[in-house]
Amino acid sequence: MASLLIRQDQQILRNIRLYSADLKIGRASECEIQLSDPGVSRKHARITLVDGLYYLEDLGSRSGVFLNGEKIQRAPLKSGDKFTIYHFQLEFVADEENDTEPAAVLVEAQAVGKEYALGKQIVTALRNISLTIHKGEFMALAGPSGSGKSTLLNLIGCIDTPTTGSILIGGQDISGKTPDELADLRLNTLGFVFQTFNLLPVLSAWENVEYPLLQQRHVAKKTRQERVQHYLNVVGLEPYAHHRPNELSGGQRQRVAIARALATRPSIVLADEPTANLDHKTGEGILRLMKDLNQEEGTTFIFSTHDARVMEMADRVIELADGQIME
Ligand SMILES: Nc1ncnc2c1ncn2[C@@H]1O[C@H](COP(=O)(O)OP(=O)(O)OP(=O)(O)O)[C@@H](O)[C@H]1O
Ligand SMILES: [Mg+2]
HEC string of 145-171 equals CCCCHHHHHHHHCCCCCCCEEEEEECC
Per-residue pLDDT, 124: 96
Q: What proportion of the chain, given as a percentage, has pLDDT over 90?
A: 56
Rounded to whole angstroms, the Cα distance separating 191 from 186 reads 7
Residue 152 scores a pLDDT above 60: yes
Residues within 6 Å of ligand 1 by CB: 116, 118, 123, 125, 143, 145-151
Strand 22-26 and strand 33-34: pairing?
parallel
Nearest to 3 by CA among 80, 59, 67: 80
**Mean pLDDT of the 226-236 span:** 91
C-alpha closest to that of 301 among 282, 315, 312: 315
- In this structure, which amino acid lies at residue 155? L
* Least distant ligand from the CA of 149: 1
Query: What's the pLDDT band for 15 if we cut at 50, 70, 90?
Result: confident
Ligand lying nearest the CA atom of residue 122: 1
Phi, psi dihedral angles at 311 (to 5 degrees): -60, -35
- Residue 153 contacts residue 139 (beta carbons within 8 Å): no
| Candidate of 147, 155, 272 to mutate for ligand 1, largest count of ligand atoms within 8 Å of Cβ | 147
Give residue 269 CA to ligand 1 midpoint distance, Å.
Answer: 20
- Burial of residue 38 (number of CB atoms within 10 Å: 0-12, 13-18, 19+): exposed
Q: What is the pLDDT of residue 100?
A: 54
Per the DSSP assignment, residues forming a β-bridge with 82 are: 91
pLDDT 10s digits, 29-41: 888 898 888 999 9
pLDDT digits (tens, 9 = 90+) for 124-150: 999 999 999 998 899 999 999 999 999
Residue 158: C-alpha distances to residues 147, 183, 213 (Å):
19, 9, 19
Q: Which atom of ligand 1 is nearest to the CA of 148?
A: 18
Distance CA 207, CA 200 (A): 9
Answer yes or no: is pLDDT of 101 > 80.
Answer: no
Measured CA to CA, the distance from residue 157 to residue 192 in angstroms comes to 7
CA of 148 to the centre of ligand 2 (A): 7
162-194 core/surface letters (b: 16 or more CB in 10 A; e: else):
bbebbbbbeeeebeeeeeeebeebbbbbbbbbb
Quick one: which atom of ligand 1 is closest to the CA of 151? 18
Which pLDDT score, from 0 to 100, does residue 155 have? 95
Identify the residue whose C-alpha is closest to ligand 1 atom 11.
Answer: 125
d(CA 92, ligand 2 centre) in Å: 36
Strand partners, 169: 107, 172
For residue 102, name the pLDDT band (cuts at 50, 70, 90).
low
Q: How far apart are CA 216 and CA 138, in angstroms?
A: 26
What pLDDT does residue 99 have? 55
